[in-house]
């Protein structure tokens, strides 16, 4: 078939998936349907039905993806045993005495919770009910409080263990351990900039974030017992990956064991909580792997059309700086993030952009972190902003416009993070490079 016609068919399928995603059609089904019918048109029904059976099986039984159900289960165990709420309370006790301290504690709590659950929407829902009323009680500015919850929640898809980075690593065929570690420092940088901005605003206008009085030193010391459970789980996983003790799958398995053992020793994990963790993890994993099956069907269709390679050749032929090309790709990712979840964005952007990224000589691990970062921004940005709507769901009394307005200063900090990571890729690649020696 004529190469130009093949490319047009690929573009048609690509645009159709985007349109279906924008109108709310589930990404798992839209990608599977377009992939199946596209392959049937190009290769015939017999080949298409053969692919539709083999490809989902191969994709969902990939050893690299076996880490996902373990990380998801680990996060739900940590949540059910109360580790995340205890960590937030400890941060609140220590930071509340300074101006902006409750908002900073919210950022730290969201980052820790996000690292366990990997879900930005779940983080926003939990901290919308837990942290926002606490800040409101002590007279914090509403925009400062809402923004702290809304924009810290998407750190779930950056700080390891991150399902988004695992799936990107599988699609880009990068080292999964290095890909996960690459998200650690950028995630911490984003959280640090959030807290610096909160501190600056509280210094400029103390009324927006007053200090909380009345917390004694014995209460602060006592609260530290809530820090070690969640930090043990996170540092065990990240440290094991960094020092090469674990493969990602082994790290996930050990993280599940550590969370379960800590819950048993502290008697904070009930039988009811354990069953809830299993049920919630099963539902989440079924959703993830259904999406993955559809994604890989669609990727095979795109490979047949050779659209990714055609676009890659076209991009590399442009007479503009490489960073400008990367910037355009990231802008596309952020715009898509306003309407779609991160897995859908990875599906649409990675196969098209990655050949060009490699041809331009950029590190795919670094690019993956940048792409996930702009997805973080898209998750809270109107007109949709999935995390913003999740926060609105648990705070019905708060106008959606207030949530969208509250994210502006935090998104400015995310833009600063993006600029720093673009100019200094060494920040992203430091831990992966140290790991590989």
Q: Cβ distance 147 to 60 under 8 Å? A: no
Token pair listed for 26: 């589930």
Q: Cβ distance 349 to 336 under 8 Å? A: yes
Q: Cβ distance 342 to 157 under 8 Å? A: yes
Q: What is the pLDDT of residues 191-235, one digit of tens each?
A: 999 999 999 999 999 888 888 777 778 888 888 887 888 888 888
Q: What is the pLDDT of residues 227-272, one digit of tens each?
A: 888 888 888 888 888 888 888 888 889 989 988 998 898 888 899 9
Task: Give every CB contact of residue 211 below 8 A, 6+ residues apart in sequence.
Answer: 96, 97, 98, 99, 101
Taking the alpha carbons at both ends of the chain, their separation in whole angstroms is 47
pLDDT confidence of residue 362? 92
pLDDT confidence of residue 247? 86
Whether the link from the prior residue into 325 is cis, omega within 30° of 0, is no
Cα distance between residue 310 and residue 313, in whole Å: 5
Give which of 67, 64, 116 is closest to 88, Cα–Cα.
Answer: 116
CA distances from 244 to 8, 54, 169, 176, 432 (A): 45, 33, 17, 12, 11
pLDDT confidence of residue 1? 66
pLDDT confidence of residue 437? 67
Q: What is the pLDDT of residues 127-164, one digit of tens each?
A: 888 888 888 888 899 999 999 999 988 888 888 878 88
Q: What is the mean pLDDT of the chain?
A: 86
Mark the ranges of the chain whose per-residue pLDDT is less than 70. 1, 117-118, 437
């Amino acid at each position: 078939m004529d190469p130009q016609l093949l490319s047009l068919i690929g573009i048609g399928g690509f645009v159709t998936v985007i349109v279906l995603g924008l109108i709310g059609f589930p990404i798992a089904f839209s990608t599977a349907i377009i992939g199946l019918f596209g392959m049937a048109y190009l290769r015939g029904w017999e080949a298409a039905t053969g692919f539709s059976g083999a490809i989902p099986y191969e994709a969902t039984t990939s050893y690299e993806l076996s880490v996902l159900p373990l990380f998801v289960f680990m996060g739900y165990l940590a949540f059910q045993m109360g580790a995340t709420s205890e960590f937030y309370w400890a941060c609140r006790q220590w930071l509340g005495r300074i101006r902006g301290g409750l908002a900073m504690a919210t950022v730290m709590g969201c980052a820790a919770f996000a690292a366990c659950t990997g879900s930005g929407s779940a983080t926003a829902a939990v901290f919308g009910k837990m942290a926002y009323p606490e800040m409101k009680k002590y007279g914090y500015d509403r925009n400062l409080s809402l923004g702290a919850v809304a924009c810290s929640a998407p750190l779930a898809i950056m700080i390891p263990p991150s399902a988004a980075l695992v799936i990107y690593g599988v699609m880009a065929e990068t080292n999964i351990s290095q890909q996960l570690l690459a998200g650690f420092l950028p995630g911490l940088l984003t959280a640090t900039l959030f807290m610096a901005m909160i501190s600056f605003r509280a210094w400029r206008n103390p009324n927006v974030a007053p200090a909380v009085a009345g917390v004694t030193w014995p209460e602060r010391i006592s609260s530290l017992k809530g820090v070690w459970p969640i930090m043990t789980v996170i540092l065990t996983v990240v440290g094991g990956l960094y020092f090469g003790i674990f493969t990602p799958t082994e790290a996930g398995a050990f993280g599940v064991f550590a969370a379960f053992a800590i819950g048993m020793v502290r008697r904070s994990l009930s039988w009811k909580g354990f069953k809830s963790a299993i049920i919630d993890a099963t539902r989440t994993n079924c959703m993830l792997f259904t999406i993955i099956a559809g994604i890989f069907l669609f990727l095979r269709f795109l490979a047949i059309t050779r659209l990714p390679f055609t676009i890659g050749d076209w991009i590399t032929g442009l007479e503009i700086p490489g960073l400008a090309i990367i910037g355009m790709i990231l802008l596309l990712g952020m715009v898509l993030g306003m309407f779609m979840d991160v897995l859908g964005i990875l599906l649409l952007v990675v196969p098209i952009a990655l050949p060009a990224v490699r041809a331009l000589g950029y590190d795919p691990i670094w690019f993956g972190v940048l792409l996930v970062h702009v997805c973080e921004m898209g998750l809270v940005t109107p007109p949709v902003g999935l995390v913003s709507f999740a926060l609105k769901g648990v705070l019905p009394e708060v106008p959606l416009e207030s949530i969208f307005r509250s994210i502006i200063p935090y998104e400015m900090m995310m833009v600063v993070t993006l600029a720093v990571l673009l100019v200094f890729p060494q920040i992203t690649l430091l831990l992966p490079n140290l790991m590989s020696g």
